[in-house]
């Protein structure tokens, strides 16, 4: 028994994982993401979550005077995946701005479906986005070209907003809408920072293994 314990103690350092082994390999992660998207799995996950959001809306609309739906834009309503792929998953603000200016960002189809359902039920739809106020015109065009129309409000991050987290801005807008008498039944985003901070009855998190926004 004693000999066994000594052997175990000698082996222990070799069995422990080096810190680098806990980090996924970047090349392999990119390949995994590409497969996840090209196999249709990404779209299916979004469909499942948006269907839950729709079911909640449907079940909770009765008797609500000013029902509202809040959507984030990037990787929630629109997909920048073609840009990310062409940039090998890097991000450069100038290239992103040019991409938005081209206004050809495809929609996430199941979110567009949720949006259209909400409008058919007289639910007011609001976009709250981390895109800067300078991108307002091109973002409106981008949304329209993707099939979105007749939204009630579009809130872009003010140029003066310098907090490290987007939560303050996004929850602040939801609070403002609530103060105006809207009841936000559903809030959909791809980052937890789209959803934290309250002022929504329910929230739905779409998948995004590509980037993180605090
Ligand atoms: Mg987003």
> Whole domain around residue 130: which residue ranges?
26-205
Within a domain: 1: no
Ligand 1 geometric centre to CA of 76 (Å): 6
Q: How many residues are present in the chain?
A: 214
Closest alpha carbon to 74 in 49, 106, 110? 106
Contact 79, 114 (CB under 8 A): no
Q: Which residues crowd ion ligand 1, with CB under 5 Å?
A: 72, 74-76, 190
Tens digit of each residue's pLDDT (9 = 90 or more) over 160-197:
999 999 999 999 999 999 999 999 999 999 999 999 99
Q: What is residue 17's predicted lDDT score, i.e. its pLDDT?
A: 86
SS3 132: strand
Within a domain: 8: no
Within a domain: 142: yes
Within a domain: 11: no
Quick one: pLDDT band at residue 16, thresholds 50, 70, 90?
A: confident
Ligand 1 geometric centre to CA of 7 (Å): 52
Within a domain: 75: yes
Q: What is residue 78's predicted lDDT score, i.e. its pLDDT?
A: 98
Ligand 1 geometric centre to CA of 78 (Å): 9
Number of structural domains (the chain) is 1
Whichever domain contains 121, its CATH number is 3.40.50.1000
What mean pLDDT do residues 8-29 have? 83
Q: What is residue 14's predicted lDDT score, i.e. its pLDDT?
A: 63
Rounded Cα gap, residues 185 and 58, in angstroms: 10
Within a domain: 16: no
Within a domain: 60: yes
Within a domain: 2: no
Ligand 1 geometric centre to CA of 171 (Å): 14
SS3 156: strand
Ligand 1 geometric centre to CA of 211 (Å): 9
């Amino acid at each position: 028994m004693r000999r066994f314990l000594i052997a175990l103690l000698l082996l222990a350092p070799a069995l422990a994982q080096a810190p680098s082994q806990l980090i996924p390999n970047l090349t392999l992660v990119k390949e995994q993401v590409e497969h996840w998207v090209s196999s249709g799995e990404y779209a299916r996950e979004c469909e499942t979550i948006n269907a839950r959001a729709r079911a909640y809306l449907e079940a909770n609309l009765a008797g609500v005077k000013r029902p509202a739906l809040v959507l984030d834009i990037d990787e929630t309503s629109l997909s920048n995946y073609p840009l990310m792929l062409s940039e090998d998953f890097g991000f450069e603000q100038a290239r992103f701005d040019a991409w938005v200016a081209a206004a050809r960002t495809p929609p996430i189809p199941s979110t567009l479906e949720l949006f259209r359902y909400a409008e058919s039920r007289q639910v007011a739809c609001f976009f709250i986005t981390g895109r800067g106020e300078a991108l307002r015109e091109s973002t409106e065009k981008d949304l329209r070209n993707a099939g979105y129309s007749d939204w009630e409000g579009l809130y872009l991050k003010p140029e003066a907003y310098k907090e490290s987290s987007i939560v303050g801005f996004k929850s602040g807008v939801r609070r403002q809408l609530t103060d105006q008498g809207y009841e936000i039944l559903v809030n959909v985003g791809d980052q937890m920072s789209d959803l934290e901070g309250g002022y929504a009855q329910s929230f739905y998190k779409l998948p995004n293994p590509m980037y993180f926004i605090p």
